[in-house]
């Protein structure tokens, strides 16, 4: 029997008792709406082949290869494999792979002119301790913004790149670096729900359009402090077979980055854009 349970006060919903391989259109519509309502959708207890995971991901939109080419699946470039190859040839830990996603709160794809609508993970191997993923609501962040800040940023664009102000681009091939910044509204109206959220990524934003450097930096710092609201958080403890999708249009996430490095934490990932 399908069960849908709210997981956090304002973000996160868990679905159990469903087989994604045989999910019909009506069943998908119900969990899709739950995803829109709560930003992050967790489906537990799945046993999917890589092709089945890819096909399910395509129900949410167009699946495209992630710009980090080195971690794409060799046969299915639309799939990123997370958590493998984390040790260098000399046995030292490759921090860029081990701590991938744990560098700070972020949203996926802000560096693209058309950002990712969603990101989806399927858990293949989970460590005994640690390795959680944390999520936060962009709606809650917007609600927490003082009115003067909402007015200041209404209709204002931010400039975003893969490495942001730190210019950290280690996971990109050289030919994919130094792209022209993408411009996106800092206050974003969700295309499906009509709700407003703070669209923000402190690790990818370069500047606030139309602001002098000092004001831009001050606004970025203020938004960074506002983006995570306690009532808008959800922490997911992984189990093998979990499928988790989050809405990049209205949420942020980060990996805890705290699991024993000698243990495996492996996921398949798909990056999903809205259909044209």
Q: pLDDT tens across 59-113, in order?
A: 999 999 988 888 899 999 999 999 998 999 999 998 888 888 888 999 999 999 9
Is the pTM of the predicted complex or chain greater than 0.75? Answer: yes
**15 contacts: CB under 8 Å, gap ≥ 6:** 2, 3, 4, 5, 31, 34, 41, 42, 43, 44
Q: What does the pLDDT average to over 170-199?
A: 82
- pLDDT, tens digit, 9 for 90 and up, residues 120-161: 999 999 999 999 999 999 999 999 999 999 999 999 999 998
Structural domains of the chain in order of their starting residue, each with its CATH number: 3-145+228-273 (3.60.130.10)
User: Is 11 buried (19+), middle (13-18) or exposed (0-12) by CB count in 10 A?
Assistant: buried
Query: Using CA atoms, how far apart are residues 245 and 257, in angstroms rounded to an integer?
Result: 19
Secondary structure element (H or E) that encloses residue 184, with its range: strand 182-185
């Amino acid at each position: 029997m399908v069960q849908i349970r709210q997981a956090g006060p304002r973000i996160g919903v868990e679905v159990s008792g469903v087989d994604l391989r045989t999910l019909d259109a009506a069943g998908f519509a119900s969990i899709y709406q739950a995803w829109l309502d709560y930003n992050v959708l967790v489906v537990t207890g799945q046993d999917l082949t890589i092709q089945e995971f890819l096909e399910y991901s395509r129900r949410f939109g167009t699946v495209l290869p992630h710009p980090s080419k080195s971690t794409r699946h060799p046969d299915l470039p639309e799939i990123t494999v997370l958590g493998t190859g984390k040790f260098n040839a000399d046995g030292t830990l490759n921090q860029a792979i081990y701590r991938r996603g744990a560098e700070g709160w972020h949203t996926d794809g802000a560096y693209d002119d058309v950002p990712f609508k969603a990101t989806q993970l399927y858990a293949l191997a989970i460590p005994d301790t640690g390795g959680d993923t944390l999520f936060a609501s962009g709606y809650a962040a917007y609600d927490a913004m003082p009115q003067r800040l909402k007015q200041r940023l209404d209709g204002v664009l931010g400039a975003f790149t893969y490495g942001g102000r730190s210019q950290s681009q280690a996971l990109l091939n050289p030919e994919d670096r130094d792209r022209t910044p993408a411009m996106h509204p800092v206050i974003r109206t969700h295309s499906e729900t009509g709700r407003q959220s703070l669209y923000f990524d402190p690790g990818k934003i370069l500047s606030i359009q139309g602001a002098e450097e000092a004001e831009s930096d001050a606004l970025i710092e203020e938004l960074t402090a506002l983006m995570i609201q306690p009532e808008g958080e959800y922490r997911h403890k992984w189990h093998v077979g979990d499928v988790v999708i989050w809405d990049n249009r209205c949420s942020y996430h980060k990996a805890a980055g705290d699991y024993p490095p000698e243990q495996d934490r492996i996921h398949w990932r798909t990056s999903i854009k809205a259909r044209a």
